[in-house]
Amino acid sequence: MVAIADSVPKPTARFRFILDRRDVFGSLMVAPAILYVLLLVGVPLLMAVYYSLSAYTIYNPSWRFVGLSNFIDIVNNPVFRQTLYNTFIFTFGSQILGLVLGKFGALLLLRPFPGRKLVRALIILPWAVPIALATVAWEWMFDSLYSVINWTLIALGIVTRSNAPNWLGTPHLAMLCVIVVNAWRFFPFAIVIFLAGITAIPQDVLDAATIDGAGFWRRNYQIIMPMILPIVAVGLIFGFVFTFTDLSIVFLMTMGGPVGATSVLGFAGFQTGINSGDVSHGAAISLFMLPVLLVVVVAMLRFIRRREI
């Protein structure tokens, strides 16, 4: 047998195809997102936790550990309890109002009519307009002197100039105003969610319900609503989290007033921690949102899982 020298296998450069490896390339692609979350969410969160357990103020930047005393302070403070209550009212009020408006809007937009595409595009506007601009516009509509709402009510003879409502100056009305503005901002999102859900229902199911004798209401509440509930719940989680932590509308329109009637957690945390410089108490107020949101989100996610069909 003639032995022919085997050609020596040439090793491929070890790192030449490194980017073809799924684990390496995948990690590389995810790295920026992980870094971003760690640096811009993780670090501030840890800092907030530490601040809330310390006696840190901008006048006395000490890192002295004080345990849970900041939390005990704020819970004992009736103003904070009012703020917590306000936050729930603000969140639930605007979510419910937004959902109702969203459902109606979605039902209207499902029916074909001339110009529907234009309306569908325009309906997104409240969501797309910068929040500061929109809020300033609303502020003028609720203004004590220049309110177009009041002008209209006076012109219609429903109220007189002397007993016209002072929208932003009366505690309950002010809360109503911030709820309305937030619902106005939220309802295009709700419409999109409802439209997505309703159009995903197979036509056969709706036709079957019609032939089985279900009228408009029964179709809506026994067929459509239960079927889109998981999607709506996901939308609601987003809405809930964003509203619960929101401070912009309150900050721009009422500054928490009158006498704290519209103060919400995000706003109070900002006022105490940044504007007043009491960083430790501000951090404690902000961190208070965490367990509340955690409970709500976990509960809703479990609900969605159970409803999955």
Partner 1 sequence: MAAVSTRNIVKKFGELAAVNGISLDVPNGEFMVLLGPSGCGKTTFLRIICGLEQQTSGDLLIGGDIVNDVPPRARGVAMMFQSYGLYPHFSVRHNIAFPLRTQRVPGAEINKKVAWAAQLLGIDHLLDRRPRQLSGGERQRVALARALVREPTALLLDEPLSNLDAKLRAFARQEIKQFQQRVGVTTIYVTHDQVEAMGMGDRIAVIDHGQVRQVGTPSEIYDNPADRFVAAFVGAPPMNIVARNGGYLGFRPENFLPKDMIKDAAFTEFKFRVDRSEYLGSERIVYGALEGFDPKQVITAKLPPAHVADEWIRPGEWHLFAVRNSALRHFDDDGKRRSRL
Interface residues toward partner 1, by CB under 8 A = 202, 204-215, 218, 223, 226-227, 307, 309
Scanning the structure block, which residue is given the tokens 């003028």?
A: 140
The three-state DSSP-derived secondary structure of 164-214 is CCCCCCCHHHHHHHHHHHHHHHHHHHHHHHHHHHHHCCCHHHHHHHHHCCC
Q: Which is nearer to partner 1, 120 or 218 (CB)?
A: 218
Q: Which is nearer to partner 1, 206 or 293 (CB)?
A: 206
- The residue type found at 3 is A
Scanning the structure block, which residue is given the tokens 């999109």?
A: 192
Q: Which is nearer to partner 1, 20 or 204 (CB)?
A: 204
In sequence order, which ranges of the chain are alpha helices (DSSP H)? 22-37, 43-52, 69-76, 78-110, 116-122, 125-128, 131-141, 148-155, 171-199, 203-211, 216-218, 225-244, 248-253, 265-270, 279-287, 289-307
Give the separation between CA 166 and CA 148, rounded to whole angstroms. 12
Q: Which is nearer to partner 1, 152 or 199 (CB)?
A: 199
The three-state secondary structure class of 308 is coil
| Minimum distance, C-beta of residue 197 to partner 1, in the bound complex (Å) | 13
Rounded to the nearest angstrom, the gap between the alpha carbon of residue 197 and the centroid of all alpha carbons in its chain is 19
Q: Which of 105, 43, 72, 71 is nearest to 285 (CA)?
A: 71
| Minimum distance, C-beta of residue 215 to partner 1, in the bound complex (Å) | 7
Q: Are 72 and 91 in contact (CB under 8 A)?
A: no
Q: Which is nearer to partner 1, 141 or 214 (CB)?
A: 214
| Minimum distance, C-beta of residue 208 to partner 1, in the bound complex (Å) | 3
| Minimum distance, C-beta of residue 109 to partner 1, in the bound complex (Å) | 22
Q: Which is nearer to partner 1, 32 or 213 (CB)?
A: 213
| Minimum distance, C-beta of residue 209 to partner 1, in the bound complex (Å) | 7
| Minimum distance, C-beta of residue 281 to partner 1, in the bound complex (Å) | 47
| Minimum distance, C-beta of residue 224 to partner 1, in the bound complex (Å) | 10
Q: Which is nearer to partner 1, 81 or 307 (CB)?
A: 307
